[in-house]
Structure 1
């Protein structure tokens, strides 16, 4: 008899956790597991990669209302009242001295309108912190409950005591890196006893296949093409990347730096690009369903993040054998062997600049890094898949 698994995530919008989940779903042995997937928002880009054997469930009614599905007059009135209450709470939260994380505010306001799931599962898995974890902990009946954490949890804005009300219902916590495990363990000692490390799931064969899907027309082969992939968010430190681009331009380097991704910082970043007159050098391409064609075609891959849960895009650039410059976010040393198969630099403008110019000014060094990358076994998640099977077995 197949084990019944439930996965819950906010959506399958383009992002690291979402990509990891889709990769995992495609690698699971479907002859042994009956798999349900619950998304609070449907229709995002990565849904097309969900395999046919995964049953995508209807979202809870309130989320379907938020996503503009129609209901009866009575339910519409009810959900409108909850939406108004939630909106007001979010506004007031901004002025509180000890404000809560947005996800906590939303859940506190809507938890009573979300009915528990009727189906019982062997294992229920929240594939990110926040709403998916609250839902698994409080609205799902399952023999085992698992919560994935893919961020530096100790340093997030989540109120940890409020979160504990949900995490105490969780049997196992999965951290995506050693650093994430240490961060979670700092919050409560009992969390340390629950934690397993399973690195972000990725499939090198799928990445190589997708990298060949189409040609990149945006790149100018007469210049140095630099690429960064990630959401336009403050944690990615794209403001520093723009400052580095300014230094490169002033020093006379012929380059274009492309950013694949979308997010709330777009206007601020574009304003900075305009200010420094870098529109020809620093280009925000927006989100792309397939970033691997860009990775395959770039000359240098750069990650300027202040922190990462794991650093999946750096792993992917490494799989595609790209010279990499990444800042020393906590998990960087788990991915890059500095000065051998890539460069880890300090999180400041001059260090990032020096990392990029080390490649551009020393062609022999770049060739040695690429040679090393070609000799390495590609990063693979096969062993991580075995860890997952162990996790859901007992």
Structure 2
């Protein structure tokens, strides 16, 4: 049995945190002795870990500016301080501090894996949790395998840092059957107006998720008398700003802030169109889940979307990553009910690509090959 450590910053409401829990819960526990370790003991997803998955943490409370503070110690000292047990494979499941810690392992018998979730775009950004670009390159060269969540992320990472380690693309794990089952739950807290086209966006309410431009698009479409409503699932530091925009523009009846939901699927499944307005993504968990429950997707072009929806928009609509293009894309679907119906059918078809079994087996085969 291989002893595996997954290190992640925390188990908050982000996509990487959710798919890690999905992955470890569904791995073969007769072949893998799995420990999930967080740098900080925080997050809603901790409660969903399978009882057979061991959980450890380094710090009980989140420390402000932690990635900067950790730079005072070398990767070797950090590893000695944080990872106190012997494992066969150590996995940094997020870029930055986790990769820096795991790269400090000095035991040549331990296999090291780094998971890259988002495009870095520049070497400076890829190295922001390291002392320098040179240190980032040195640390990432320590890994036997670098896993990227999409081909776009892989190409970007190779371009900005030029690491020669073995690279592989492995898609995120979603609990497809569970998602479908949960999507059928009855909604008691709100009622969707079936006479309206119901749009939905899901994610942390942060600037890079683009909810501000989605609200501006919503206002334009409402001004043009389109019969639409928008539901936003998620929480975050931008919430007050977004709510103020809605109130100032008298859109309270047309925009619902539903907060962070343990079961977002029942809401997404009842909506007519999932919209991703993000400035950057890795391989969008929320968009994948929308496909699984059969909700059509309209998205700006961010990492992984063309892999997910097809180079020629076979399974959903991908537009240029700007506000005007997204407005035109949503409008195109609102003006063509048959096209929206077509994408609903194609969403269900594409959702089958992301079955739990396929994605978990791919990860297990990679780990056994190290």
Q: TM-score range by the shorter chain?
A: 0.7 to 0.9
Q: 1:312 to 1:117 in 2, by over 3 A?
A: closer
Q: Distance in 2 between matches of 1:174 and 1:304?
A: 25
Q: Is the 8 A contact 1:145 1:169 kept in 2?
A: yes
1:162 aligned onto 2:131: no
Note the 1:69-218 alignment, pairs <5 A.
Answer: 103=67, 105-109=68-72, 115-138=81-104, 141=107, 143-155=110-122, 156=125, 158-159=127-128, 160-189=133-162, 191-215=163-187, 217-218=189-190
Secondary structure in 2 matching 1:259: strand
Q: 1:376 to 1:173 in 2, by over 3 A?
A: closer
Q: 1:236 to 1:377 in 2, by over 3 A?
A: closer
Q: Distance in 2 between matches of 1:188 and 1:6?
A: 25
Q: Distance in 2 between matches of 1:55 and 1:140?
A: 23
Q: Which residue of 1 aligns with 2:9?
A: 10
The number of equivalent residue pairs is: 356
Q: Distance in 1 between matches of 2:351 and 2:136?
A: 40
CA deviation digits over 1:294-313, x for unaligned, max 9?
11111111111122111221
Note the 1:164-313 alignment, pairs <5 A.
Answer: 164-189=137-162, 191-215=163-187, 217-221=189-193, 222-313=195-286
Name which of structure 1's ranges 295-304 and 329-338 shifts more when overlaid on structure 2: 329-338
Could you tell me how far 1:334 is from its partner in structure 2? 0.5
Q: Distance in 2 between matches of 1:116 and 1:220?
A: 48
Q: 1:154 to 1:359 in 2, by over 3 A?
A: closer
CA RMSD in angstroms, aligned pairs only: 2.3
Q: Distance in 2 between matches of 1:268 and 1:128?
A: 29
Secondary structure in 2 matching 1:335: helix
CA deviation digits over 1:157-186, x for unaligned, max 9?
634323234223222111111111111101
1:318 aligned onto 2:317: no
Give TM-score scaled by structure 2 length.
Answer: 0.88
Q: Distance in 2 between matches of 1:374 and 1:345?
A: 21
Could you tell me how far 1:332 is from its partner in structure 2? 1.4
* Matching residue within 325, 338, 348 for 1:351: 325
Q: Distance in 2 between matches of 1:266 and 1:110?
A: 35
Q: Is the 8 A contact 1:175 1:196 kept in 2?
A: yes
* Matching residue within 304, 327, 332 for 1:331: 304
Q: Is the 8 A contact 1:301 1:323 kept in 2?
A: yes
Could you tell me how far 1:390 is from its partner in structure 2? 2.7
Higher Cα Rg, which structure = 1
Could you tell me how far 1:218 is from its partner in structure 2? 2.1
Name which of structure 1's ranges 283-292 and 338-347 shifts more when overlaid on structure 2: 338-347
Name which of structure 1's ranges 116-125 and 275-284 shifts more when overlaid on structure 2: 275-284
Q: Which residue of 2 aligns with 1:25?
A: 24
CA deviation digits over 1:186-206, x for unaligned, max 9?
1233x2432111111113112
Give TM-score scaled by structure 1 length.
Answer: 0.83
Name which of structure 1's ranges 109-118 and 136-145 shifts more when overlaid on structure 2: 109-118
Could you tell me how far 1:45 is from its partner in structure 2? 1.4
Q: Is the 8 A contact 2:292 2:350 kept in 1?
A: no
Q: 1:241 to 1:116 in 2, by over 3 A?
A: closer
Q: Which residue of 1 aligns with 2:357?
A: 382
Runs of 4+ in 1 over 4 A off after TM superposition: 110-114, 139-142, 374-377
Q: 1:260 to 1:27 in 2, by over 3 A?
A: same
Q: Distance in 2 between matches of 1:225 and 1:376?
A: 21
Q: Is the 8 A contact 2:146 2:167 kept in 1?
A: yes
Could you tell me how far 1:143 is from its partner in structure 2? 1.2
Q: Is the 8 A contact 1:176 1:197 kept in 2?
A: yes
Could you tell me how far 1:213 is from its partner in structure 2? 3.6
Secondary structure in 1 matching 2:302: coil
